[in-house]
Chain A
């Protein structure tokens, strides 16, 4: 017998007594309930017989306890146990006995399964139990985690493993509501039943979609971290040679920018802001293989060789987007933790397609063809306008000197006068119209009961809209997985890609094409290959002149150079892996994988020496190679080898309501790269099929680098637990080792965790009908970043400086050559991991039906940024050292939604996402600003003078000069029409400061201030998809906002003085005493006021909204496939357009890319399934 002792507290505060008791009992009851204990057969089978007279209730109960297994549980404070009763029973069940015994009292009772009987005051709700099983209507399997709620109350439970539930109800006439994400809710009246089995019908909400999370997958509803994903259907909507572009605008937190018209180019991908001004590129993982490329860790840094050697071809273009099943982006530390090393900037997981067990063989074919056009064009001066401008410029300053090459060109009296020449359109001459883009892919997949297979071949090619620019890819993939027996599974995945591309090194600056003087002829039937010469070349007297025939305004003849020279690239990529997976115990999988990624990239460059007449910088090439050579040729090879071996142990099981998923991973990555090159100055043929290195004459150079090796080792443990899909805990700890650090600093330990709570799994939320699912989640984690120049912790000797000593009689004037040996930098043995800490909180919700909403707040602090320290030049370093020098914070919110509505046959889906980024540099090395990396400002903010205005009169100018001075002015040459700038700050006087806010009436470098930021404050995307019968339509918009951009085109081409490059027609609106209402300063030779200096005058908003893709498709109806006897199982034809329009205030060529804007693409295609 259990009797509560009499707590003193209760006596002192009698008013609370009853309340406290009820609380306590309720707790016990619910606790017992949770233990799944309910009435058993014992109470049904045990019969009592006895007779008592004038005994207390307490006594009766005591006697029952003595003769049976029943135990009673009550509190004397509330129930009068001393009441005397007379009671006689024969073969009576205990319930009936107690009913009689307590009939006239204020008490009631309840029999529990363990033969415990609770006696409580009637106020205490002793409910009745309803049990049952919830199953999936399709599979018949029990569904755990289903919410079971008494309608109109907050009373509820959820089903356990096997789908069984038990719920206490106040009476048996209530209605129960069964709800579960991914299934349609059901409301069923009990109508007196004590058991109720229910079959739920699944309903597509997307929450059951599988998301790739790294070393496994998870259904969307169970994800606790920040992951965005797109699948094949979205990827195929984008016309591109690489997969990155498919992400643009479709994922919150993922910004894809810098898109260019050059098909080789690498877009910039940033996940939730910019963590560092060094390597902020996310890690790409293709089928488990982390991609590394030559120059890793130093891209974006000062090493000019790294980016040059790496070449312009985007390594991601070697993956055929047709082969991609899904792209998952792991955005927060908790998600990315599992790829720890190199994952700090986020991870882009690319999973390729595979066959399915048991599927019959399917052949899919897709083809697409499109044409591209760049429609933007700069409005530049024609020959007449330009000639006049140059004449005026020379006249503007008597001290001006006409460059030797310009003598006579602008003098109408001279026979060389250019003013009467026609105007040649150099922008059009460099442009390719209707450049084709095409893509073909054939894929075969299927599976037997134990084996699945996938085979594909693809061909894609895209031409640029500038001359001689293209990229092609031929690729193949093969995947095979087979279950050998119950315990053993093996598989392989192999991918090969051959790429070819071409560009004209360095000449692809679209607005540079507009700089050429309009009188420079393009064609000349007498010139080499029909092109007009730029330089005089061989003179009749046999000597050579590199003078430009058409003056300093003439530029390198790019179309001729592209026509007669050639620089092209080829690459071959072999990547693949094999794995062996053992399942020795249920739920335990041990997987060993070896992956190889071998990427070789070659560059070939041929120069026809005849082309020196198109390029004034080349001088006389006829003496090259000892004379008699017709051209030069250069080959360069870059080899990347990336080998990853991994061991993964995974244990995944469910114990009742408890699901656990344990993962341990050991990975070892060995990466090496090298490049080698060879060139010759001596060719006897310009036939590209015959050119070769070497030959009879020795004008060859060769070089190669040693293999650059790096190694990464990671050890990781991840534990995931969830209870009833309601409470989730995920935790990851990794230990990473990197060869980039000294042995004592090599290892870093990085923990992370995330939590989630499905509120809609709680009974108290069940009353909210419009909320189908609500999951709160949050997490914290730390990741390491090792991206820094290899060997920065050591002090390498460089032998690059060369010198001579001595007078060498064999080489008079040139001495004895030697390689030097010195150090360029400063070793920093204390270099450590850069640590990125991320905190995330947010929720995922399904509101009403088919409206999904996600919200997230993130806050990332990247501390100990591994970067170049800007040390004073008085230390005499050539290479600045690397150190953990700064911290940068990115924070913001992400919101995304997706809503689907069916209206008759019309299915309409609208989705959108918005991400805000507040980027700020928190600390720098000793607080010293490093250019535009400055505490309190975003990375790479725009810094410059604040434009004041134009001096409208001499008196205004004099008044200004009386008060101010400008370090850049040549004061004596100032005139009305020149610009002035605002005084903002002055030189520092306090130690440790770098400027003073007080004004000094002096305009100098201290007055260069914040003018804008280059990292957008927000970016967004939204899409509209519709399906109507066989038709489908989709439109994708993307945009960025709260961002500024320097309009370099205006800064360069709105200059009102020129004797060289052409300028915009808007430059003609320059200030004159009679044309004062203008922002263009006066025309003056030499720009003595530095009117064209960088200032806020050239900063514009870089915000834009772009309709990036629009597509209309038609899928043939079922009747058609029947006609073909299911030979054709699906056929869809479509037409579409990319980069349809852009809304922007930016006045350059394109807010994303002025150098080579993205073209408009019109295309059509077909997808078929056999």
Chain B
């Protein structure tokens, strides 16, 4: 009897002992291996660092691709503003400026994505300064190149943010959870100044060129090109500041090895991407799976978008963002007869372009029968994704030498170097002439150049590209070359068939876009500062 009892206690004790072992082992059970690669251990090769850099570029997909899920390609709002492009009907607030408010979806999307791009650039800059990461560099100079790329890309973001929203916060460092997460608005020129300072640094760090496998990454010339644009921009808003104009010229002089391509049309052709004229392009492509899902961001991976959106110009079934943008009558009429750029830019004879693609309407009647075809003319328009035919691999050119040359022409002209200005403008006109064979007689060289000539030349040369026109018009307005407040609906290219009272542009309100409401809602510092005047 006693023995049995003893065994029972023994059993009870050993159970308790076992259970405490169980308890100890439990502590270890919580050390579960993460199913994701972690920041602290991911970067173990130079190649992986390049992937971080590539992610900064990748963000541009979310600005230039179809984005059918969320109201359509964001960049289109700034393309529509200005006098070169118009909307089919009167229902777009980006054109009529009526009903445009802080809740506008595309204006928010652009803001959001620009900041995401800046955050990725900041991430790269933080990582490559980490000794645990930069020890993996083996290629001489690559670390500097990478830093230059990050600085350039962030500056491009700041340039856009300042231009469109003005008092956007400056996100120039990686923010961690315990930092201040509600950034204050930027003051005055601070954001543009920051972009300029960073570009000056980037220009010293970046390589002059990349090998063929890395074409499209930014170079010294990219930085100098954007610097020219930034200085001219700052000069305009700063009472035609001669120092800024001078710096623009200095930056321009440092561009080397770039040249205008022979044919104007090569600037918009997928077969001649990253050419000698190109300073910065969004590298549009397609997922290897053949599926660019127009309803998913690039960030989705796998089938996320990697292409560019051009169907706002044509008749793809797509959705409500297709086929609704076209040239203004002002643009159609602006080209001299014989200017080869006209046919490369727009057409009223789609059938003759040799298209056999199913989304092209043979009975196009919008915009007086005209269609923008810069990136889609003939074979250029035949590089869509295989499944949806929705996003194109043809790279939108964001900064090209012609743009920079015309910008520096302004700087020359405003600093009393009219001869230099004339050279730049005539270079552009010469190339335009030579774009067809045999060469055209128009546009002939100018004998002398005025500000109006430059304004007109940019109109013809850059029509419909990346919203340049709206940026130009506003800075010229700021500098006093034009007065947008006196412009009529017709001056803006608002179609004459519509009641001009529907056009509601007001200055200075519409010279800036509204700060997105969601930013005001989540950021007390921005909320207190209020939206841009009038919104």
Contacts and interface: CB of A to CB of B under 8 A. Distances in A.
Interface in A966-1009: 967-973, 987-994, 1004-1005
B521 A929 contact: yes
Given A620-B358, A707-B35, A878-B116, A801 B58 contact: yes
Interface stretch (A447-455, A538-546, A951-959): A538-546
A406 B270 CA distance: 34
Interface stretch (B38-46, B139-147, B408-416, B418-426): B38-46
B52 A544 contact: no
A873 B299 contact: no
A709 B116 contact: no
A588 interface: yes
Contacts of B31: 739, 743
Interface in B499-535: 499, 501-502, 504, 516-519, 521-528, 530-531, 535
Contact of A584 (B9, B57, B521, B527): B9
Interface in A329-358: none
A814 B12 contact: no
Given A670-B29, A805-B283, A1004-B101, A797 B38 contact: yes
Nearest to A402: B365
A993 B525 CA distance: 10
B54 A820 contact: yes
Contacts of A972: 98, 499, 501-502, 504
Contacts of B463: none
B171 A796 contact: no
Nearest to B112: A873
Contacts of B286: 814
A104 interface: no
B48 interface: yes
A710 interface: yes
Contacts of B15: 582, 584, 590, 649
Nearest to A829: B177
B393 interface: yes
A647 B19 contact: yes
Contacts of B26: 666, 668, 713, 715, 737
B120 interface: yes
A400 B211 CA distance: 52
A-side interface mostly? loop
Contacts of A55: none
Interface residues of A, number: 117
B42 A874 contact: no
Contact of B8 (A584, A822, A988): A584
Contacts of B456: none
Given A737-B26, A797-B38, A801-B299, A807 B108 contact: no
Contact of B212 (A404, A807, A968, A988): A807
A987 to B, nearest CB: 6
A876 B270 contact: no
A547 B102 CA distance: 35
B283 A872 contact: no
Interface stretch (A359-367, A476-484, A698-706, A1061-1069): A698-706
Contacts of B43: 821
A487 interface: yes
Interface in A814-868: 814-824, 826-830
B497 interface: yes
Given A802-B304, A807-B273, A881-B177, A969 B98 contact: yes
Interface centre among A585, A800, A829 (most CB of B within 10 A): A800
B287 A1086 contact: no
Contact of B51 (A400, A711, A821): A821
Interface string B56-94: 111101000000000000000000000000001111010
A815 B497 CA distance: 44
A968 B96 contact: no
A647 B22 contact: yes
Contacts of A404: 315, 323, 361, 363
Nearest to B165: A874
A820 B527 contact: no
Contact of B283 (A588, A715, A804): A804
Interface in B9-39: 9, 11-12, 15-16, 18-19, 22-23, 25-27, 29-39
Among A705, A713, A806, A818, the one with the most B-chain Cβ atoms within 10 Å of its Cβ is A806
A125 interface: no
B103 A970 contact: no
B267 interface: no
A875 B283 contact: no
A53 interface: no
B24 to A, nearest CB: 10
A712 B27 CA distance: 10
B8 A928 contact: no
A872 B299 contact: no
Contacts of A743: 30-31
A477 to B, nearest CB: 29
Interface string A653-690: 00000000000001010100000000000000000000
A766 B105 CA distance: 71
A414 interface: no
B387 interface: yes
A399 B90 contact: yes
A1090 B98 CA distance: 12
Contacts of B300: 800
Interface string A493-506: 00000000000000
Contacts of B525: 991
B287 A802 contact: yes
A883 interface: yes
Contacts, number: 351
A298 to B, nearest CB: 13
Interface in B96-123: 96, 98-99, 101-103, 108, 111-112, 115-120, 122-123
A617 interface: yes
B155 to A, nearest CB: 15
B30 A746 contact: yes
A90 interface: no
B51 A819 contact: yes
Given A824-B299, A1086-B91, A987 B387 contact: no
B341 interface: no
Contacts of A803: 54-55, 57-58, 61, 283, 306
B39 A796 contact: yes
Give the one of B120, B217, B383 with max A CB within 10 A: B120
Contacts of B36: 791, 794, 796-798
A907 B178 CA distance: 66
B215 interface: yes
B171 A876 contact: yes
A619 B388 contact: yes
Contact of B285 (A712, A799, A804): A804
B176 interface: yes
A149 to B, nearest CB: 43
A871 B181 contact: yes
Given A547-B317, A797-B37, A802-B298, A666 B19 contact: yes
Given A544-B358, A821-B52, A926-B524, A815 B285 contact: yes
Contacts of B27: 713, 737
A877 interface: yes
Contacts of B394: 813
A990 B525 CA distance: 10
B524 A873 contact: no
Contacts of A545: 358
A276 interface: no
A574 interface: no
Closest 9 CB pairs of A and B: A876-B119, A800-B301, A813-B270, A820-B55, A796-B36, A876-B115, A872-B523, A822-B55, A967-B101
16 contacts: A399-B499, A401-B89, A487-B8, A546-B358, A584-B9, A701-B289, A715-B23, A715-B26, A737-B30, A797-B39, A801-B55, A820-B52, A820-B55, A874-B169, A967-B535, A971-B504
Given A404-B363, A546-B317, 17 more contacts: A544-B358, A616-B317, A620-B358, A645-B22, A647-B22, A739-B30, A794-B39, A798-B299, A801-B301, A803-B58, A823-B39, A872-B526, A876-B119, A970-B90, A973-B90, A1004-B102, A1088-B98
